Amino acid sequence: MANFAIDLLVFRYKQDMREAEETFEKYWLLTAGVEDDSGYVEELDKALQKWIEADEKLTALAIVVNGRKNNGFKEKSKVPQSLDKAEVAH
C-alpha cells in the first residue's frame, strides 16, 4: 500500500512538471513578438513555481524513501523504481 501511495505522488509531481512545461511551450508559441504583458509574465511565473515545487517534492520524496531503506527500517516492499536516483535527476 505504501508503494502505491509513493507511486501516486511520483506520478502527480511529474504531471505537474509536464503541465508547467506545456504552459511554457504554449506561451513561447503564442507570444512571439509580444512585448511586456503582465498576464503573460504572471502565467510563466506560476508555471515555473509549479515546476520547481514538483521537482523539489520529487527530490525530497526520493531522499525520504531511500533514507528509510538505507537506515535499516523494515519494509515489506522495495522502493519503487520510479524513485531511482537517475530518474529523479531527470
Give the separation between CA 86 and CA 90, rounded to whole angstroms. Answer: 7
**pTM of the complete model beyond 0.75:** no
Q: Is the pLDDT of residue 75 over 80?
A: no
What integer pLDDT is reported at residue 63 of this predicted model? 94
What is the count of structural domains for the chain? 1
Domain that holds residue 7: 2-88
**DSSP structure class, residue 76:** S
Mean of per-residue pLDDT scores for the chain: 79
Q: What confidence tens digit (pLDDT) does each residue in 8-37 have?
A: 999 999 999 999 999 999 887 776 655 656
Amino acid letter at 32? A
| Cβ pair 83, 65 in contact under 8 A | yes
In sequence order, the 6+-apart residues with CB closer than 8 A to the CB of 14 are 54, 58
- DSSP H/E element including 52: helix 38-70
Q: Is the pLDDT of residue 88 over 90?
A: no
Residue 12 DSSP SS3: helix
**DSSP structure class, residue 13:** H
